């Protein structure tokens, strides 16, 4: 009986070692698979902005018209002031920016 108990413990230890070895060897393939997915996702983002080589056409206009009216009147309860503001703004600039080798 004692011989069989030792054999069972040895079998369990060998089985655990085989399972651990299999998990370690599969871990490398799993890691490569995750890295491949990341690379595919990043490559799918397309071309990235490079500040050292860029062309920009800029168009911006700014015009502003502001009108403020103050009306003051006095009655029995005191002096009252009413303020009315009207503002209209528009922006525009024209130009080109080129950076990097051409």
* pTM value > 0.75: no
CA distance 87 to 67: 6
Nearest one of 64, 100, 102 to 85, comparing CA atoms: 64
Q: pLDDT at position 50, please?
A: 67
Question: Do strands 54-59 and 94-99 pair parallel, antiparallel, or not at all (unpaired)?
Answer: antiparallel
pLDDT digits (tens, 9 = 90+) for 61-98: 778 888 888 899 888 888 888 888 888 887 777 777 66
Nearest one of 89, 91, 92 to 64, comparing CA atoms: 89
């Amino acid at each position: 009986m004692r011989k069989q108990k030792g054999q069972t413990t040895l079998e369990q230890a060998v089985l655990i070692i085989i399972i651990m070895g299999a998990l370690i060897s599969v871990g490398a393939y799993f890691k490569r698979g995750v890295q491949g997915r990341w690379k595919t996702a990043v490559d799918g983002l397309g071309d990235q902005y490079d500040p050292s080589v860029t062309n920009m056409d800029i168009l911006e206009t700014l015009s502003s018209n502001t009108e403020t009216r103050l009306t003051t009147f006095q009655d029995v309860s005191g002096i009252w002031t009413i303020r009315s503001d009207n503002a209209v703004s528009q922006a525009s600039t024209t130009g080109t920016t080129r950076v990097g080798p051409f």
